[in-house]
Amino acid sequence: MISMQEPFIRFYLFMTCWLFLAGGCTEERTTLPAIPQFAAPDKFKQGGVNWQREERLSGSDAAVLSRFFEIQPGMAGSPAVAGTPVIYHGVQNRKRFYWMQGTVDGPLWSYVEFSRGHYQFREGTGNPYRSDAQ
């Protein structure tokens, strides 16, 4: 058993506990950078195509998206296409399905486009709805 009557031992024990409490109990504050948010616009123009936002997923939209996942089964369950997409339609039966995710570096987006019977998958960072004029 340690005798606490020695002044040096008491001082050493007190300083050790104080340093532990002072250093280990400080509150860490990390300020994350502000992540720009991009609200899905009602319409935008990109690549010479006017895109109009759909209110909800229609039966034909679901069929187009289901066919994409049949052709690309590895994409099913991917974080890039997680959640409910924002849907846009363009001229000549074009469709785009957008997914947005926030990251520390900013917004990460992906979309599946159906146009003229073909599918295209793209992903990137920043504002996915940037119009031709911007």
b/e map 97-125, b = 16+ CB within 10 Å: bbbbeeeeebbbbbbbbbeeeeeeeeeee
Do 106 and 36 contact (CB within 8 A), yes or no?
A: yes
Do 121 and 72 contact (CB within 8 A), yes or no?
A: yes
pLDDT-derived band of residue 44, with 50, 70 and 90 as boundaries?
Answer: very high
For the stretch 67-101, pLDDT in tens is 999 999 999 999 999 999 999 999 988 999 999 98
Strands 106-115 and 86-89: unpaired
For the stretch 93-134, pLDDT in tens is 899 999 998 777 778 899 999 999 999 999 998 888 887 655
* Mean predicted confidence (pLDDT) in 30-57: 82
